[in-house]
Amino acid sequence: MIEDQLKAVIRDIPDFPKPGIVFKDITPLLQHSELVELAVQEFARRLENIEFDVIAGIESRGFLFGFLLAQYMKKPFIPIRKQGKLPYHTVSESYKLEYGQATIEMHEDAFPKGTKVLLHDDLLATGGTVLAASKLIEKVGGSVAGYTFVISLDFLQSAGRLTRFNENIISLVGYQ
What is the C-alpha separation between 105 and 137, in angstroms, rounded?
A: 10
Confidence of residue 28 (pLDDT cuts 50, 70, 90): very high
Confidence of residue 80 (pLDDT cuts 50, 70, 90): very high
- Which tens digits make up the pLDDT trace of 113-128? 999 999 999 999 999 9
- The CA–CA distances, whole Å, from 117 to 9, 46, 55, 138, 168 equal 29, 16, 6, 10, 12
Q: What is the pLDDT of residue 74?
A: 98
What is the C-alpha separation between 78 and 105, in angstroms, rounded?
A: 11
What is the C-alpha separation between 132 and 92, in angstroms, rounded?
A: 9
Burial classification of residue 43, based on how many CB atoms lie within 10 Å of its CB (0-12 exposed, 13-18 middle, 19 or more buried): buried
Single-letter amino acid, residue 93: E
Q: Helix 2-9 crosses helix 33-46 at what angle (to 10 degrees)?
A: 140
Confidence of residue 16 (pLDDT cuts 50, 70, 90): very high
Give backbone dihedrals phi and psi of 60, rounded to 5 degrees, phi first. -105, -35
- Which tens digits make up the pLDDT trace of 31-60? 999 999 999 999 999 999 999 999 999 999
Is 98 among the residues known to form the active site? yes
Contacts of 31-35 with C-beta under 8 Å, sequence gap 24+, read 35/5, 35/6, 35/9
Confidence of residue 156 (pLDDT cuts 50, 70, 90): very high
CB 156 within 8 A of CB 98: no
Q: Which of 3, 37, 51, 98 is catalytic?
A: 98
pTM, to two decimals: 0.95
Is 46 among the residues known to form the active site? no
- Does position 98 have pLDDT exceeding 80, yes or no? no
- Does position 163 have pLDDT exceeding 80, yes or no? yes
Q: What is the pLDDT of residue 46?
A: 98
